[in-house]
Amino acid sequence: MDKKELAVVFDMDGVIVDNDVYHFRAWGELCRNYGLDVSQDEVKSWFGNTNPMILRNLFGADIDMDAIIRIGAEKEFLYREIYKSDIKATPGLLPFLESLRESGITIAIATSAPTENVDFVLEHTGIRKYFSKIIDASMIREGKPSPEIYLKTAEILQLAVSDCLVFEDSFHGIESARRAGMKVVGVATTHPAEKLSGTVRNIKDFTEINPSEVAEILLSR
């Protein structure tokens, strides 16, 4: 009997990199540039959404697509400029990725981030080689908590949702994966572990999990 194919699917922001504070700073600077006053809690509540969803919330539903593209690009440029000198992978991620690959577990990314940010993170951390598939904001219509991105990921991987384990840090991301029918491990970066509900387990970083535990979670029904 052939070995069952299993997959680990990583969100990016707050999972592959612990970067929420840099997004906070970029959104804060953008909002100040446009005379908008938002709290850190409000910004944190956006995590997992696409930029068009966030910008419609900030500027109103009638904002046109040209403005969404322009202002969204402005925010992401600010983020990359602020973060580029500090970027590093979440502790334990590189050895975890290596051990997953050695175990024959498929590895993918499913993120609501734009392609430019995905390229930025993967190039600066040097981990692109580990991911067989990368699904980003350019490939979906609805951001998290819609299950679209995780359903699309399973479709692209040609795997059942029950064979995919997701690593997520945000409330919207956890809900998205669960609505798609996937099990979720919470990564306690953006939110404390005690606030991450609906997960099979919560970790502070990737030093706290290994491929055997991934397989055990996925193969338990």
Cβ atoms of 72 and 63 within 8 Å: the answer is: no
Is the predicted pLDDT of residue 86 greater than 90, yes or no? yes
Tell me what pLDDT residue 70 has: 97
Mean pLDDT of 175-181: 98
Q: What is the mean pLDDT of the chain?
A: 94
Q: ∠ CA(114), CA(202), CA(178), 5° rounding?
A: 60
Question: Which residue has 């540039």 as its token pair?
Answer: 33
Give residues with Cβ within 8 angstroms of 218, minimum separation 6.
6, 162, 163, 164, 165, 183
Mean pLDDT of 181-204: 97
Mean pLDDT of 134-147: 94
Assign domain 20-83 to its CATH superfamily: Putative phosphatase; domain 2 (1.10.150.240)
Question: Which residues of the chain does CATH 1.10.150.240 include?
Answer: 20-83
Pairing outcome for strands 7-10 and 106-110: parallel
- In angstroms, rounded to a whole number, what is the distance separating the alpha carbons of residues 169 and 18? 10
Tell me what pLDDT residue 41 has: 82
Mean pLDDT of 109-117: 95
Tell me what pLDDT residue 106 has: 98
Q: ∠ CA(82), CA(12), CA(20), 5° rounding?
A: 40
Cβ atoms of 167 and 187 within 8 Å: the answer is: yes
Tell me what pLDDT residue 39 has: 83
Is the predicted pLDDT of residue 190 greater than 60, yes or no? yes
Is the predicted pLDDT of residue 1 greater than 60, yes or no? no
Query: Please, which pLDDT band fits residue 14 given cuts at 50, 70 and 90?
Result: very high
Mean pLDDT of 35-41: 86
Tell me what pLDDT residue 2 has: 52
Question: Which residue has 């290596």 as its token pair?
Answer: 98
Mean pLDDT of 108-127: 96
Mean pLDDT of 177-200: 97
Tell me what pLDDT residue 153 has: 98
Query: 9 - beta bridge partners?
Result: 108, 166
Q: How far is CA 38 from CA 27, 28, 30, 53, in A?
A: 9, 7, 11, 16
Tell me what pLDDT residue 44 has: 78
Please count the other Cβ atoms lying within 10 Å of the Cβ belonging to residue 174: 25
Q: 160: number of CA atoms within 13 Å, CB side?
A: 6
Fold assignment, 7-19+88-219: Rossmann fold (3.40.50)
- In angstroms, rounded to a whole number, what is the distance separating the alpha carbons of residues 173 and 187? 11
Tell me what pLDDT residue 77 has: 97
Mean pLDDT of 40-68: 88
Give residues with Cβ within 8 angstroms of 200, minimum separation 6.
183, 184, 185, 217
Cβ atoms of 131 and 108 within 8 Å: the answer is: yes
Tell me what pLDDT residue 47 has: 76
- In angstroms, rounded to a whole number, what is the distance separating the alpha carbons of residues 112 and 47? 9
Tell me what pLDDT residue 38 has: 85
Eight-state DSSP code of residue 19 = -
